[in-house]
Amino acid sequence: MSVKVWTEEELNKVSAELEGGEPQEALKWAADNFERDDLSLACSFGPEDVALVDMLVKIKPDARIFYLDTDLLFKESLDVRDRLIEKYGINPERFAPEMTLAQMEQEYGPELWKSAPDKCCGIRKMVPLGEALSGLKAWVTGIRRDQAPTRANAPVVSWDTKFNLVKINPLVRWTSEDVCDYIKANDIPYNVLHDRNYPSIGCEPCTNPVKPGEDPRAGRWAGKEKTECGLHK
């Protein structure tokens, strides 16, 4: 396969063509147009990501998958990783911060996630994400348009100006119910915390359960203005 350089115009055209299709069509396009080593799925073990693991592995069994381990993930999230490995035989690549929690506390004081969550996300998520994406030509994410106003216009395929590679969002048009239905229909491992009122799960110190009727992301950085890690802005 020759290495193609995609222009913004071409990506817009591809995105428009994939807009009305099933998520698998976007994944098939990605698998057909990027070498195995140039493409990776970002997996945080949330419902969208486990659904994408299932879809992608069925299209490309040896597809690359990576996750960010902030050292502050729920044990239940790591259990999902282990169950996915067992079910699909995948080998997700782990990217973690260089700075240990003890070093972070020594440098910035205790519980940086409370005093300066942007700084904490920068150290524990953004730097490892940059490492995960360096050298790739495309990445796949599980973002959906109805998750947050910041995601309302997310295209299926676009040029990621922040990290300089192609970004593929196969699930943009799906609702949370669509994702749940797919998980159930395909018997995909998912985080047991979702059954305990945690619709959106990140790091343990920054994730709370939500009350009935609350915004599904209300439990993330509750009480703070922060709504995104910065991964998708």
Contacts with ligand SF4 by CB under 6 A lie at 70, 72, 113, 117, 120-121, 124-125, 202-203, 205-206, 229
Pair 151, 145: CB distance under 8 Å: yes
The letter for the amino acid at 14 is: V
Q: How far is the CB of 111 from ligand SF4 (least distance, A)?
A: 9
Catalytic residue among 43, 121, 203, 229: 229
- In DSSP terms, 40 is beta-bridged to 64, 139
Report, in Å, the least distance between residue 71 CB and ligand SF4: 9
Cβ atoms of 139 and 40 within 8 Å: the answer is: yes
Nearer to ligand SF4, 87 or 114 (CB): 114
**What SS3 class is residue 219?**
coil
In angstroms, the Cα distances linking 87 to 26, 83, 186 are 23, 6, 12
Angle at 197 between CA 168 and CA 202, to 5 degrees: 45
Cα dihedral value 73, 77, 78, 79, nearest 10: 150
Distances in whole angstroms, Cα of residue 86 to Cα of each of 89, 104, 165, 174, 189: 6, 33, 30, 27, 10
Nearest residue (CB) to ligand SF4, 67 versus 182: 67
Residue among 124 and 167 whose Cβ is closer to ligand SF4 = 124
Catalytic annotation present for 43: no
Q: Which residue is nearest to ligand SF4 (CB)?
A: 203
CB of 110 to ligand SF4, least distance (A): 13
Residue 120 or 166 having the CB closest to ligand SF4:
120
What are the phi and psi torsion angles at 44 (to 5°)? -105, 10
Tell me the closest approach of the beta carbon of residue 145 to ligand SF4, in angstroms: 22
For the annotated catalytic residues, the residue numbers are: 229
